[in-house]
A and B are shown apart, each in its own frame.
Chain A
Amino acid sequence: MSGDNYRSRYTFAMDFGTSDFKFGPITLGENPRIVNNRGYFPDKSSVMYKAFEPTSDVIVGEDVPLYLQSAEDLSSRLVYPMRNGMIDKSDDQAWRVVSTLSSYSLDAFKPEPNDGFQGYYVVASLSSVSPRYMYERLLGLFQQNNHGKIKAVTVIPQPFAVAIGHGVTTCVVIESGHGNSQVCPISKYPIRAAQVALNRGGGDANAITSEILKDTGYGDLATEEAVVRKVKENIGLVPGNLDSAIADAKKFPRKARAKYKVPGTRVEIDLEKDSWSRFLIGEYVFNPNHEIFESYFSRGMPRPKDVKMGDTIFRGMLDFGEAIIASVERCPVELQPMLYREVLLSGGNFSWAVPPKLEDIAVDAPTKVRLLLRDRGIKNVSVKMTSSPQFSVWHGCIIYGFAVPENYEWDWQRLEGWMRVSN
């Protein structure tokens, strides 16, 4: 079987997202398999554990809900290893979840015996802000857990995979997840020195939604994360210009009225005269610097802070426009116009709808980023959502695994190439 032919069957991709783990071989076609990126450490004294004693002491995949116990128990036993895109060096629990998920994914796609299988070419993707020790640890896990399932392995950053999956070789990718966002310029290689990380993501939009619920008399719902997230997704809007959107919504309250009924319950949220506040949710994601947010900070909502994780500083209050400019301006001047020409948005934090009646004041994510850049004098810009926001990282990993020559060996300076796995 020739090399290309072999890899057209045995290329395997793993996308370690903040919430979901997407995995599977090239033969799955367009859609990978998805499980939550989490693991549960069951109480070994529980009846469920004794009755169905699992082979591993970390439960991952579809079986997790069967072992869940009380809510108090979850905070310590249910581990989301990539919640912030990074795992601490000494967080053994999180690394055990990653290890178990990797084995679980490869075991789910065991090829038929005697069909020429000599191990998968595995491409895993991590957050672009992952420090070097995460690469070392992850590659080490693949070496340990191999058991003939892996021929060679590599790790690439998620924004790089997004650019590959979208088919654009020179661009800026903004990947925004639950806990943080990353701006990464790409020009055939990821330009790591120009990356900008933001300490702001979907979780911050949840925080302001929770404050709005408290202010409008739904304080009892404001503590239930799942409800808050649903409210955010259903009533949150991104304004083209916050001041004019608020003025318009106050002038025509029926037009902008925000109502949401929680499915399967009697709970209905109606912001009535305060419906203008739905625009704060989207604005806060893209630009938390408007003075209106100061009142929330002064009443106790935490202001997104600059934090240092590993070698990276995650900026709290930088708006997306400034973040893109800061990132692009670290690249060579002659490359900059080409980078602005293709700005790709990826991740669930950019999925904002525009209701038909509010098209004059609400905008989608690409338009908002374009407006933020225009305000700073950058006009010749093309901003797009990735064609397949949920799966573009996995697609990129599959293409990378298929196309990169087998003899391109792993290099710790480049953080690229194939690392051979001994069987």
Chain B
Amino acid sequence: MGAQQTPNSDPNQKGLSFLVGSDSVHVMVLKPHDLAQRNSIIDTVLKLSSLRNSCQTVYLAAPRLLGATIDASIFRAHGIGLLFFDERRIDEAVAPQPLQATRPQTAQPAQDPGLVSELATLKSMYFEMERNLTQLRDDLKNLHGAPRNGGGFSPQLSQPPQAVPPEPVFAPNINQDEALHSYFNNQADPPPPRGGSPGVLPSYFTNNPWLEVLSKRGRSENGRLAG
């Protein structure tokens, strides 16, 4: 799922190339000693612009020290991504715009608004049906005089608890190219915040009698109140 580093098509070309899915990404890295050389920054930016015919996405990675002097809006206007790094971390200051001019034009199927709304209706019907089914199952259980607590809850963890992937960190003894590679790998993975599927409930909802108990809160207040 991660980005794959690829060799540069032109051996004289500086920087790092990656393949993210079907898109090629190129990163030009400004090293601290480049800052001392006259015109090196403008030279690097011009070289990046020249890559429009061969890459979908281009980045300039610059030492954080340059943050105060670079006008990010210029990069935004030209669709060039801007990364700042220091010894601790890499931050994306400007997200790149894919270079549409060079991308092969594919016919986009026109979205039928009727179809979209039908899909939404079907989705909500499915969701309602699932709720009804849970309720029916509970009712059936009560009818059969099943034990009060059911005991039917069997959580099925799809995977063991995993540690949150740490942010990319530049340690002083880590090769900067390796760190950039790892950064792009992490970027290409599906982001954890929205990794779940909206509308699909987690496994611990399955046969959970609390769904019914809690959904009746406020309707009949004859339950045992907090003491």
Contact = CB atoms under 8 A, between A and B. Distances in A.
Given A164-B210, A169-B213, A405-B217, A398 B202 contact: yes
Interface string B122-160: 001001100100000000000000001110110101110
B148 to A, nearest CB: 6
B214 A189 contact: no
Main secondary structure of the interface of A (DSSP, over half): mixed
A28 B196 contact: yes
The contact size tier of chain B is 35 or more
Contact of A31 (B155, B161, B208): B161
A99 interface: no
Nearest to B150: A167
B209 interface: yes
Interface string A178-209: 00000000011111111000000000000000
A11 to B, nearest CB: 10
Nearest to A407: B218
A152 to B, nearest CB: 13
Contact of A167 (B159, B194, B208, B226): B208
B161 A390 contact: yes
Contacts of B153: 166-168, 387
A126 B198 CA distance: 27
Give the one of A28, A187, A341 with max B CB within 10 A. Answer: A28
B149 A8 contact: no
Interface stretch (A39-47, A69-77, A248-256, A414-422): A414-422
A86 to B, nearest CB: 18
Given A5-B127, A390-B161, A28 B209 contact: no
Interface string A2-42: 10110011000000000000001111111101110000000
Nearest to A66: B88
Main secondary structure of the interface of B (DSSP, over half): loop
Given A165-B204, A399-B211, A403-B210, A8 B127 contact: yes
Interface string B197-227: 1111111110111110111011100011111
Nearest to A389: B161
A108 B193 contact: yes
A65 to B, nearest CB: 10
Interface in B158-191: 158-159, 161-164, 166-167
A301 interface: no
Interface in A340-355: 341-342
Give the one of A24, A404, A415 with max B CB within 10 A. Answer: A404
B186 to A, nearest CB: 13
Nearest to B203: A30
A33 B157 contact: no
B12 to A, nearest CB: 36
A168 B147 CA distance: 11
A399 B197 contact: no
Contacts of B159: 30-31
B11 interface: no
B198 A8 contact: yes
Given A30-B158, A413-B226, A8 B210 contact: no
Contacts of B167: 62
Contacts of A390: 161
12 contacts: A30-B157, A30-B158, A33-B164, A167-B153, A168-B149, A169-B210, A170-B148, A170-B149, A193-B227, A341-B149, A388-B204, A398-B204
Interface of A: 2, 4-5, 8-9, 24-31, 33-35, 52, 62, 66, 108-109, 111-112, 163-171, 187-194, 338, 341-342, 387-388, 390-391, 395-396, 398-400, 402-405, 407-409, 413-417
